Amino acid sequence: MTVLVTCAAATWFMAGLHWFVRVVHYPLFAEVGTDRFIAYHVRHSERTTLVVLPAMAVELATSVWLVVDQPQGTSATLVLAGLALAILT
């Protein structure tokens, strides 16, 4: 059950982070200006990776774990869909 909770926590963290970036951060790109955009985007990507990569790794690893060792009472279709979505992300 701990793996399931960890996977859900990582998934919810990623969903919240996605909405924060979409609503707050991406609109700020327009304020940078074309002359500084490329450098700004590079820094954005590097720093975002530091936040996103650990959570994505946890989400992917726990998704695989849930498929390999499916908790009793969970749907095989659901854990496979979760893994597919984690891979696609």
Total Cβ atoms within 10 A of residue 7: 23
**Predicted TM-score of the model (pTM):** 0.79
* CA–CA gap between residue 46 and residue 2 (Å, rounded): 31
Cα–Cα separations (whole angstroms), residue 14 to 4, 11, 31: 15, 5, 25
Strand, helix or coil at 83?
helix
- How does residue 89 score in pLDDT terms, banded at 50, 70 and 90? confident
Instruction: For the chain, give the percent of residues with pLDDT over 70.
Output: 99
pLDDT digits (tens, 9 = 90+) for 37-81: 999 999 999 999 999 999 999 999 999 999 999 988 888 999 999
Q: What is the average pLDDT across 7-35?
A: 91
Quick one: pLDDT at residue 27? 92
